[in-house]
Amino acid sequence: MYNAPVLKKAVEILKFIVKNGNPLGVTEISKQLSISKSTVFGILKAFEDEKFIVKDKATKKYVIGQELLELSKNVFKGGEFTTIARPFLEKLIGLVDETVFLCVREDNVIKVLDAIETKKTFKISSPVGAIFPITASVLCKAFLSPMDNEKIKSFLKERGLPKYTENSITDIDLFLKEIEKTRTLGYSLDLEEYLTGIRAVATLIYTDGAPAGAVCAVGFSRSLSDDKLPHVIKHLKNTAQQISERLSQFNLKQ
């Protein structure tokens, strides 16, 4: 079978840029893929001309470009937001080994835009497109946190706080304290408040200072233990920040 060497190298470079998720320079790509710098530079220039990638003028490093997003956004449900977030979510799953979700708020419900399951035998699953009530604990705390307290109180009084489990917080003042913690710490927690035996951590993704969505890690209580939570929180927050920075580059709002 005929195999064009340059085309194969071009595909390798493009896949490496997309999967890496971070801005990459010619030297780094050349070293990681064992391709000469001159070849890497030539291929990158061709991709740049087609707007598949863009080069940051300050750092001289490359990231995925608008034309590639236009081609790839139909691959993942959720459009450009999901396309941009996906490589970061794939990295996150390897770091936390718990199912991760990309979610957005649509009026008074939460919608799952993307989900990547852990490879463990026993795991949490939910299909892309699934809808959850806004009062689902971890995401409710996250999505309401940018609002001021009076608006939150008014919203919760209107919606109510259902008792999903024995751990559900149904008192508005107590729930507001949880939201204030979320605001201060930059993440929200659900310790079996929505589903018995299930824990979750969530943090918001921003673009231009406005919430665009949330990334959430969900696992069984035995797996997402007190000892493991700090590790998951750290990587979850880092991932949300990286996605936020990338979204802002393309001025995308969900």
Q: How confident is the model at residue 216 (pLDDT cuts 50, 70, 90)?
A: very high
Lowest mean pLDDT among 60-64, 130-134, 137-141, 227-231: 60-64
- Within a domain: 220: yes
Reported as a single tens digit per residue, the pLDDT across 33-66 is 999 999 999 999 898 888 888 888 788 888 877 7
Q: Which of 218, 239, 228 is nearest to 116 (CA)?
A: 218
Domain that holds residue 50: 5-70
Query: Which of 41, 70, 99 is a domain's end point?
Result: 70
Query: Which of 70, 86, 104 is a domain's end point?
Result: 70
Residues 23 and 140 reside in one and the same domain: no
- Within a domain: 65: yes
Residues 56 and 148 reside in one and the same domain: no
Residues 53 and 175 reside in one and the same domain: no
21 to each of 39, 85, 189, 231, how far by Cα in Å?
A: 21, 9, 27, 21
Query: Which of 48, 70, 92 is a domain's end point?
Result: 70
Q: Residue 178's domain is classified under what CATH number?
A: 3.30.450.40
- Domains identified in the chain, total number: 2
* In contact, 86 and 213? CB cutoff 8 Å: no
CA–CA dist 51, 49 (Å, integer) = 5
**Direct distance between the N- and C-terminal alpha carbons of the chain, in angstroms, rounded to an integer:** 44
Residues 81 and 163 reside in one and the same domain: yes
Question: Would the pLDDT of 78 be above 60?
Answer: no
- Within a domain: 187: yes
Reported as a single tens digit per residue, the pLDDT across 176-193 is 999 999 999 999 999 999
